[in-house]
């Protein structure tokens, strides 16, 4: 049987698992909705993940098990406390995985770091020496690849672009600051702003469709989000000497409605010569990015 890494990707809306070959090929994959569970009901989510792993894994034992998870996470303790999974607080995810798949090495990585690692390995970021991966969805996460190697940082949270402050007088953020990128450019934040301007739609998907149809408020919401993202991207590019930014996630699925104003903002405000070479591209791996990246982190 082809050697593989068993990868899991844990988020507030879905649990995914896959067998990933040493070359990054997805050999087998499964996905289920993340169960709704209240604090104190950790076992509800745990059972769903265990069942999914049993469904996906098969044959020879994996080379390793790698878990990508929404955070916060504690790499040393092997625990996760995803903001969007209230049932899990300091949940010992690596201990659970070791019970399900015993006797193999395991590792834990933030989901946005994993997505960046996957895109750099097998996706839109191949060949980039210094890359920032961004996930624009219900929140905004990020991960860095520096000198071709994913960089998670000592706590696993390096590259977390969503909490760069771009408007100090702006809206309060759940992190405790005000005016973070996430308060402007995440899907829910864009929808809240558009509704205050009189737009009557339900969610970020409807907002993107309205923008594609030329609806003025929807277009303004995407322009505003692109401007906030551009400010943060240019700051990271100046610090890390980036040559590429790869953007995925549900909001990025709007396509040129987001990317056109974002590229204009980045190009129009980049002044330093080394920053002007920066390329902004859509992610290529879709929902598999975190799984492929988790496997990559285990193989390094």
pLDDT digit string, tens, across residues 83-118: 889 999 999 999 999 999 999 999 999 999 999 999
| CATH number (domain holding residue 173) | 3.30.420.40
* Per-residue model confidence (pLDDT) at position 226: 98
Q: How high does pLDDT run on average in the chain?
A: 94
Percent of the chain at pLDDT above 70? 100
Within this chain, do residues 102 and 200 fall inside the same structural domain, yes or no?
Answer: no
* Domain total in the chain: 2
Same domain flag for 155 and 182: yes
Integer Cα distance of 115 and 178 in angstroms: 26
Same domain, yes or no: 203 and 161:
yes
Give the pLDDT of residue 154: 87
The answer to whether position 119 is within a domain reads: no
Mean per-residue pLDDT for 155-163? 89
How high is the pLDDT of residue 67?
Answer: 97
Model confidence, pTM: 0.92
Distance of alpha carbon 201 from alpha carbon 151, whole angstroms? 39
One domain for residues 63 and 176: no
Helix axes 256-269, 204-212, angle to 10 degrees: 80
Q: Is the confidence at residue 189, as pLDDT, over 90?
A: yes
- For residues 271 and 294, membership in a common domain is answered with no
Whether the pLDDT of residue 9 is over 90: the answer is: yes
- Compute the average pLDDT of residues 184-189: 95
Q: Are strands 130-136 and 244-248 parallel, antiparallel or unpaired?
A: parallel
Instruction: Give residue 239's domain range.
Output: 126-284
Which among 248, 247, 290 has a CA at the least distance from the CA of 24?
290
């Amino acid at each position: 049987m082809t050697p593989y890494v068993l990868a899991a990707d844990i988020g507030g809306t879905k649990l995914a698992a896959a067998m990933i070959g040493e070359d990054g090929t997805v050999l087998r994959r499964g996905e289920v909705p993340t169960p709704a569970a209240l604090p104190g009901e950790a076992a509800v989510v745990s059972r769903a993940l265990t069942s999914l792993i049993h469904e996906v894994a098969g044959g020879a034992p994996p080379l390793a098990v790698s878990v990508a998870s929404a955070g916060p996470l504690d790499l040393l303790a092997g625990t996760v406390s995803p903001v969007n999974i209230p049932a899990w607080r300091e949940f010992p995810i690596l201990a659970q995985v070791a019970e399900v798949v015993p006797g193999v090495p395991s590792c834990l990585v933030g989901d946005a770091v994993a997505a960046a690692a996957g895109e750099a390995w097998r996706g839109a970021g191949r060949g980039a020496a210094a890359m920032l991966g961004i996930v624009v969805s219900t929140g905004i996460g990020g991960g860095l690849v520096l000198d071709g190697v994913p960089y998670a940082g000592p706590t696993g949270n390096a590259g977390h672009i969503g909490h760069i402050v771009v408007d100090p007088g702006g809206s309060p953020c759940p992190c405790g600051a005000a005016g973070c990128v996430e308060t402007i450019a995440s899907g829910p934040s864009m929808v809240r702003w558009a509704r205050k301007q009189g737009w009557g739609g339900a969610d970020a998907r409807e907002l993107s469709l309205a923008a594609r149809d030329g609806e003025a408020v929807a277009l303004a919401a995407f322009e505003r989000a692109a401007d906030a993202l551009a400010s943060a991207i240019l700051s990271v590019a100046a610090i890390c000497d980036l040559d590429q930014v790869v953007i995925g996630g549900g909001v990025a699925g709007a396509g040129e409605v987001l990317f056109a104003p974002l590229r204009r903002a980045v190009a129009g405000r980049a002044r330093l010569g080394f920053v002007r070479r920066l390329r902004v591209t859509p992610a290529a791996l879709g929902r598999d990015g975190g799984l492929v990246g988790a496997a990559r982190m285990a193989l390094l």
